[in-house]
A = this chain, B = another copy of it.
Amino acid sequence: MIKFPIPTNIIQSKIKKGYKSNCNKGLAFEDEINNANNYYNNHNIALIYKRPTPIHIVNVDYSKNMITKAFFEKQSTTDYNGIYRKKYIDFEAKSTYNSSLPLHNIKSHQIDHLRKVEQFDGIAFFIIKDYRTNDSYIFPFSLFDTFIKNNSRQSIPFNYIKENGVIIKTNNNILDFLSAVDEFYFSS
């Protein structure tokens, strides 16, 4: 999830009200990914969806079929999954303004999940956006996993991500992250 726990529709509501915060950036990034997924779906390239934000519902007004009390829950897995080139694909989007990606907002259950995806022969990665340059990168989970196993750092330097990941180009007016996936996972 890009800006947990605030979902898109709340962010949109904030934007309508002139609310200024980093959420707008998060929304723009999420929209970039959603737009790409829509393009891939419409052009029969891939089938990738964002998982809905999980909500714990406490009260419902059944006369209006309306939820009157609920709380945000943590996503138990990652935000996006689907199928591409006959393979299961699963990823998490993260963004930062810093010169390194803080690890504290990548949850251990997400790491466990992505590790399992790789063990099951799926494609697991992060899409990481550097707001200083507006560049985004595919950062394969295998590289992430190697990094955290060999380092005690609390963040991954962006230089490491840039040198080892794949930059995502804009093609057909979308953030064409599957071309970067092709480059890392499917080029021989």
Contacts and interface: CB of A to CB of B under 8 A. Distances in A.
Nearest to A71: B66
A55 interface: yes
Given A10-B57, A86-B121, A120-B47, A71 B67 contact: yes
Nearest to A116: B47
A117 B65 contact: no
Given A10-B57, A67-B71, A70-B55, A88 B82 contact: yes
Contacts of A120: 46-47, 83-84, 86
Contacts of A53: 52, 55
Contact of A65 (B5, B82, B87): B5
Interface string A125-162: 00000000000000000000000000000000000000
Contacts of A122: 47, 83, 86
Task: Find the residue from A10, A87, A88 having the highest chain B CB count within 10 A.
Answer: A88
A67 B70 contact: yes
Nearest to A75: B52
A69 interface: yes
B47 A113 contact: yes
